Amino acid sequence: MSSNPEGKKRGAWSKEEDILLKKCIEIYGEGRWYLVPLRAGLNRCRKSCRLRWVNYLSPNIKRGTFSADEVDLLARLHKLLGNRWSLIAGRIPGRTANDVKNFWNSHMAPKMSSSLKTSKPVEKTVIIKPKPHKLSNNEPQQNPQRCINVLDTEETNKINGVTSFSIQETEKSLAQDNRLTDPKYSLFSMDFWKSFGFDDVNSYV
DNA sequence: AATCGAAACAACCGCCACCCT
DNA sequence: CAGGGTGGCGGTTGTTTCGAT
């Protein structure tokens, strides 16, 4: 076990530390990470606390191996978004950016590189590179949902075929977009992708 | 049973964007 | 407008687990 120059503990988390952190989040909620070590009585830095919660303790996290559907979705999203792990994770329920990144690097990247060596050259694909937005809010800490990445204007326009879109309009359109809530438009369904104009979904894999 | 290498997972680091003063 | 503080991201490294020999 080691500590950093500020004397903060590093390395693997103990069960006791997990319990303290969990209780702290239950009481105060997510956010204000700089206060969490103090509130929880943990000798950890804010980043370590946040990471532990986001990647391991959060109740929304799905553990275990990726299903075939998830792998399929990951492949498509990576094709579209590149190494934007947080964006990709935001569209695979229950998976974190770290999960997705680790899975990609240990399972899929090796396959991709080996297939590149054996297969004929493929045409260059255009990767949409959105910049993550933190939606402006006076109390972002109290409403973590609002901190979820959304597609930025440029990306949204590409997908929707719209020429001009403000952030507010983007936010509004997402709220009204039934593709994000209608069961018909499951992330795993062809309808979902076709609704964004990706007619030949399989070609993106 | 012991050893070693590969795979999988967890955690850290550095950077950047945003917000507030 | 500038600067400091904070949150979040992607890349990388460290550690643990697993399987083969």
The nt closest to A137 (CA vs C1′) is: B19
The answer to whether position A180 is within a domain reads yes
Does residue A50 surpass a pLDDT of 80? yes
A102 nearest nucleotide via C1' and CA: B9
Q: Does residue A155 form part of some domain? A: yes
- Please tell me the distance from the alpha carbon of residue A28 to that of residue A56, in angstroms, as a whole number: 18
Q: How many domains, chain A?
A: 3
The pTM for the full model equals: 0.66
Residue range(s) defining the domain that contains residue A34: 15-57
pLDDT tens sequence across A62-76: 888 888 888 888 888
pLDDT band at A178 (very low <50, low <70, confident <90, very high): very low
Mark whether A53 and A81 lie in a shared domain.
Answer: no
Domain-embedded: residue A161: yes
In a domain, A2, yes or no: no
Alpha-carbon gap, residue A205 to A196, rounded angstroms: 16
Confirm whether A165 is domain-assigned.
yes
Give me the CA A137–C1' B18 separation in Å, rounded: 11
Structure tokens at A30: 């997510």
Q: Which residues touch strand C (CB under 7 A)?
A: A 11-12, 31-35, 46-47, 50, 83-87, 97-98, 101-102, 105, 132, 134, 140-141, 144, 147, 149
Tell me what the pLDDT averaged over chain A comes to. 66
- Domain with residue A37: its CATH number is 1.10.10
Least confident piece of the model among A54-58, A71-75, A156-160? A156-160
A78 inside domain:
yes
Residues A72 and A105 in one domain: yes
Q: What is the CATH number of the domain that holds A114?
A: 1.10.10.60
